[in-house]
Amino acid sequence: MHIIPFSAVTTVTNMTRDFAFAVLDVTVGYGADPDTVTEALRDVGKEVRAEPKWNALIRDDIDVFGVEKLADSGLLIRARVKTEPSARWSVGREFNRRIIQCFE
């Protein structure tokens, strides 16, 4: 544990003042084609942004970075969505819900 006296704090930076990112980690089996998964994630992004409720909270198209990790359970594909500062969690949950539906 580190104890910092408040009087020692000279600068505070709010890293989510203007926007935030909902980070999406999607694990798929080793038999999945990463390019197909990437396209599916982009399609989900277009679908979500087409709805006025979510479009107001999402600032940009989904960024799919690709394979982040070769995990025990499969390929971990990372993506992110730029959101309004307070919307990162709700947007992330909605993307996760729709990704599950898409992959079924």
**Which residues 6+ apart lie within 8 Å of 34 measured at CB?**
66, 67, 75, 77
User: How many CB atoms are located within 10 Å of the residue 55 CB?
Assistant: 11
Provide the 3-class DSSP secondary structure of residue 15.
Answer: coil
Residues of the chain above pLDDT 70, percent: 96
CA angle 53, 57, 58 (to 5 degrees): 110
Q: What is the pLDDT of residue 60?
A: 96
Q: What is the pLDDT of residue 16?
A: 61
Which stretches of the chain drop beneath a pLDDT of 50?
Answer: none
Predicted pLDDT of residue 5: 85
